[in-house]
Amino acid sequence: MALRKELLKSIWYAFTALDVEKSGKVSKSQLKVLSHNLYTVLHIPHDPVALEEHFRDDDDGPVSSQGYMPYLNKYILDKVEEGAFVKEHFDELCWTLTAKKNYRADSNGNSMLSNQDAFRLWCLFNFLSEDKYPLIMVPDEVLPDRDGKRCMFCVKTANRTYEMSASDTRQRQEWTAAIQMAIRLQAEGKTSLHKDLKQKRREQREQRERRRAAKEEELLRLQQLQEEKERKLQELELLQEAQRQAERLLQEEEERRRSQHRELQQALEGQLREAEQARASMQAEMELKEEEAARQRQRIKELEEMQQRLQEALQLEVKARRDEESVRIAQTRLLEEEEEKLKQLMQLKEEQERYIERAQQEKEELQQEMAQQSRSLQQAQQQLEEVRQNRQRADEDVEAAQRKLRQASTNVKHWNVQMNRLMHPIEPGDKRPVTSSSFSGFQPPLLAHRDSSLKRLTRWGSQGNRTPSPNSNEQQKSLNGGDEAPAPASTPQEDKLDPAPEN
């Protein structure tokens, strides 16, 4: 949710920059270009054909921010994955559109801020602004001036935080950028900014080449899918046309069969009506002319012959019904063939759906692989942070050891000064009388002991990591003359290790 809000701030500026007439609406062609650039910089796979179809030119006119937000949320922001794109490239895209409207220079091309500084200030404003449009600054997060100091910024270290003040905003931006660059180079173990920028440019070129190759591969794959889809649609249209022809033929056959049936039925009904009329007339003549038996027998014979014809007509009707039954069986067979063709059509449709599902599954596997690479990158960054912390602790240990070494070196120099002062020879012009008691105080064993102690202290100071001996404070007091206590006697091991002083 936080990433979506940050992206919406920059996109809002880009949308308002395209609204040249300040009407609150942007043309569809400009929104199509903006959407395509957002797809590219956010590394979101998309269908160019669907993009053209969505923003096709029609009579609806330009689109407002409320009309563009559903498409922006559904097809762009919902598909954004954190870590899959470079935030600076996204901000640079939105700033390129924003600068045309909000960043102006004089006739000579000069301005108070350079384009890069203005871009950084714009990014800082978006970061500190509230989620209300138009954007306004959050007062609690501003870096305010105080105590008469302007353009202040903070440098946080492991021990304390340093507050600094620059003469102007541009110098403060240069200081912060230089400090951040030095910290990043030191953390990465790099010593040359030129080599780092060269490496970055090389990586950016390689990344652009990879993106271009991936884009071309994706376009080729989409083109192949589109061609396969068109081929399937053509086959489907051919099958539908064949089905329509079969239905038309069946309908014509059914109409013809029904017409024949109606004609046969009308003929049979006519014959039956004629037979009924003949029978009625025969009965009337039999009732009226019973005396005419011969003629009646002749008439009966005629009637019998007519009845024979009627029976033949009935047999013809039975045969017609049987023919109708055979036609119905043929119709049933045609319907079964139609069902078989429909099954084949459904099978082709299922194969097309399975192909689409396989394409969707390959897309999901690609997204999972991208997520896995993102997690691996995060783990590598975490390991790098742990190595940095270990190196920082090692630097602190080395600094403590160096402080101890400097302290030991100071103590050794002090002891050398004191020994040189004590071992100063007596000049011939010295007025102090030389007595046996004063000479006896300067005994060789004591001098040898001090000399050996001095050499041990020198060796101890050269090592740098050992702690001073417990008697070092007392010896220092004795050499400084602060106390008259005699120096402690050396152990037999120290007398063996330290050679006697030369005369």
Over range 113-130, report the average pLDDT: 85
pLDDT above 60 (res 293): yes
Under 8 Å between Cβ of 478 and 464: no
What pLDDT was estimated at residue 204? 87
Confidence at residue 450, expressed as pLDDT on a 0 to 100 scale: 46
Q: Which of residues 227 and 483 earns the better pLDDT score?
A: 227
Mean pLDDT of 115-141: 78
Lowest mean per-residue pLDDT among 137-151, 352-366, 432-446: 432-446
Cα–Cα distance, 314 to 321 (Å, whole number) = 11
For residue 448, pLDDT beyond 50: no
pLDDT band at residue 486 under the 50/70/90 scheme = very low
For the residues of 470-492, what is the DSSP string, one character each? TTHHHHHHHHHTS--PPPPPPPH
Residue 4 in this model has a pLDDT that exceeds 70:
yes
CB 409 within 8 Å of CB 458: no
Q: 364 with 301: CB under 8 angstroms?
A: no
Q: Looking at the predicted structure, is the pLDDT value of residue 10 above 60?
A: yes
The confidence band for 474, taking pLDDT boundaries of 50, 70 and 90, is very low
Q: Does 112 score more than 80 pLDDT?
A: no
Q: Enumerate residues 6+ apart whose C-beta is below 8 A from 20.
A: 101
pLDDT in tens, 206-219: 988 998 898 888 88
pLDDT of residue 31 exceeding 60, the answer is yes
**Where is average pLDDT lowest: 115-124, 181-190, 423-432, 438-447?**
438-447
The total number of residues shown for the chain amounts to: 503
Q: What does the pLDDT average to over 160-169?
A: 80
Give CA–CA dist 445/452, Å, rounded: 10
| List of long-range contacts for 23-30, beta carbons under 8 Å, 24+ apart | 23/62, 24/64, 24/65, 25/61, 25/62, 25/63, 25/64, 26/62, 26/63, 26/64, 26/68, 27/62, 27/63, 28/55, 28/56, 28/57, 28/60, 28/62, 28/63, 29/55, 29/57
pLDDT at position 326 is: 85
- Res. 368: pLDDT tops 60: yes
pLDDT for residue 493 = 39
Inform me whether the pLDDT recorded for 464 exceeds 60: no
424 vs 206, residue with greater confidence: 206
Q: pLDDT category, 429, cuts 50, 70, 90?
A: low
pLDDT digits (tens, 9 = 90+) for 87-109: 899 999 999 999 888 887 666 66
pLDDT at 196 over 70: yes
Residues 121 and 42 sit within 8 Å (Cβ to Cβ): no
Instruction: Report the pLDDT averaged over residues 360-368.
Output: 87
Is a pLDDT exceeding 70 seen at residue 462? no
Q: What is the mean pLDDT of the chain?
A: 77
Secondary structure of residue 96 in the 3-state scheme: helix
C-alpha–C-alpha distance, residues 50 and 503, integer Å = 103
Confidence (pLDDT) at 456: 55
Lowest mean pLDDT among 125-139, 161-175, 226-240, 297-311: 125-139
Closest by CA to 87, choosing from 30, 19, 9, 161, is 9
Percent of the chain at pLDDT exceeding 70: 79
Range from 74-88, 96-110, 321-335, 466-480 carrying the lowest mean pLDDT: 466-480
Look up residue 492 and give its two tokens. Answer: 């037999």
- pTM score: 0.35
Q: Is the pLDDT of residue 140 over 50?
A: no
pLDDT tens-digit profile of 222-237? 888 888 888 888 888 8
Spatial distance between the Cα atoms of 367 and 347, rounded to a whole number of angstroms? 30
What is the structure's pLDDT at 425?
60
Note the pLDDT of residue 477. Answer: 44
Q: What percent of the chain has pLDDT over 90?
A: 4
Average the pLDDT over 46-51 and give the result. Answer: 82
Max avg pLDDT among 72-76, 127-131, 416-420, 491-495? 72-76
Q: What is the pLDDT of residue 66?
A: 73
Model confidence at 113: pLDDT above 60: yes
